[in-house]
Amino acid sequence: MNISVTHIDTACILLEIGGYRIVTDPTLDNAGHLYHHGFGAVSRKLDNPAIPLKDLTNIDLILLSHHQHKDNFDTNGKVFTSKVTHVLSTKSASKALPGITGLDVWQTHFIPTPKLKNLRITATPAQHHPSWIPEFIAGKVIGFIIEFDGQENGVIYISGDTVYFSGIDEVGRRYKIDVGIFHVGAVQFRYLSGFGEYTMDSAGLIKAVNVLQPKTVIPIHSRGWSHFKEKESVLRGVLMGSAVTRDRTVFLRSGERTEI
């Protein structure tokens, strides 16, 4: 089965599995706008999407890790999502927006399609906040396991916005991971919560990879916003300097289709 990934913007990718087309966390606004993410958290978008909205066609499924933050679900992303038939996200997203199927953690949703036999998506735990901050501040977030018949080397895992925490260990106990797509960027709002991180930095990613042992590691959600505090050059240097990640990491070039 041919699998390819095209990075579009932030955590938004086009994942093509055979002829089945999945978009994740649609962020499709142009750069320059200032966004409020809740509880006083404000940041500016710095990058444009690498693929124009008009060119994102024939999408079969959207996987939305959470709906409450604009760096994962912005204005154009919301419009785009409303036109796609199958959208999976959190239960809170399904209550807030029409047309979304909400999943609890570890809940599996089967999607009938002639393109992939026995396609099923399972929600995985994510912790989108520092350990000392309660979940309601950032809101509920999930990751995803993608399974279908014929996977020989394991499943596809998308972390969602999360720090490294015990829930990732549980993913490793339940699944053999072939491709791991990880949201990084070391998100911080230093004027609100100091150096507490809301997504993984490179050190957290290495911990996650050491636990999950995916054959392929793809970091995304690593640039494009003012609240991302680890530069891509630092991320790349740390990952290439670690024996855990050096030989299995694929860095995507935005707008370019990469076979994996």
- Mean pLDDT, rounded, of the chain: 94
Query: Would you say 124 and 109 are in contact if contact means Cβ atoms under 8 Å apart?
Result: no
Q: How far apart are CA 186 and CA 253, in angstroms?
A: 20
Mean pLDDT of 133-162: 94
Kindly report whether the global pTM for this prediction surpasses the value 0.85. yes
Q: Between β-strands 177-183 and 216-220, what pairing exists: parallel, antiparallel or unpaired?
A: parallel
Buried-exposed string 188-211: b where 16+ CB fall within 10 A, e elsewhere: bbeeebeebbbbbbbebbbbbbeb
Alpha carbon of residue 127 to chain centroid: 13
| 114-118, 192-196, 203-207, 229-233: segment of lowest average pLDDT | 192-196
| 149-153, 180-184, 192-196: segment of lowest average pLDDT | 192-196
pLDDT tens for each residue of 215-224? 999 999 999 9
Task: Give the residue, 141 or 129, on which the prediction is more confident.
Answer: 141
| 11-20, 130-139, 152-161, 234-243: segment of lowest average pLDDT | 130-139
Task: Please check the confidence at residue 40 and state whether its pLDDT lies above 80.
Answer: no
Helical segments of the chain, H only: 75-81, 91-96, 135-138, 166-174, 190-193, 202-212, 232-240
Name the pLDDT band for 54 (thresholds 50, 70, 90): confident
Residue 133: per-residue pLDDT: 80
pLDDT tens for each residue of 102-124? 999 999 999 999 999 999 999 99
Domains (ranges, CATH) in the chain?
3-259 (3.60.15.10)
